[in-house]
Amino acid sequence: MSEVQTFLGQMHVKREELAAVRVTVTGKEYQSAILKSIPEEMSKFASGLLTTGWMFAPGTKVNPDVLIDNISEEADRLVARCKHNKSGKG
């Protein structure tokens, strides 16, 4: 599991903890917090996903959990690519 996945999982837990004490975090606020807190490369990827979604379905809200899943999958790909590139050099 990548550091990004771990962090995003912790964010999800914190949101649930806030909800348990009746503090509401809107989807838009949560989405913004996600984009601001992840590494720049992941943020660019996520922004691209959101932009593409809005282009094809204007007005549709993106489920933050789906966004987190996509960011996590991309983080896995980047980690694997980095490991592959390092093992290929020598």
Coil, helix or strand for 74?
helix
Q: Is the pLDDT of residue 5 over 60?
A: yes
Task: Tell me what the mean pLDDT of segment 2-27 comes to.
Answer: 91
Residue 49 has pLDDT above 70, yes or no: yes
Distances (CA, A) of 50 to 1, 27, 57, 61, 87: 24, 13, 10, 9, 33
Least confident of 29-38, 42-51, 65-74, 80-89: 80-89
Domain residue extents for the chain: 3-88
Rounded distance between C-alpha atoms, residue 31 and residue 62, angstroms: 9
pLDDT digits (tens, 9 = 90+) for 23-48: 999 988 988 898 898 888 888 999 89
> How far does CA 88 lie from the centroid of its chain?
29
Tell me what pLDDT residue 89 has.
Answer: 59
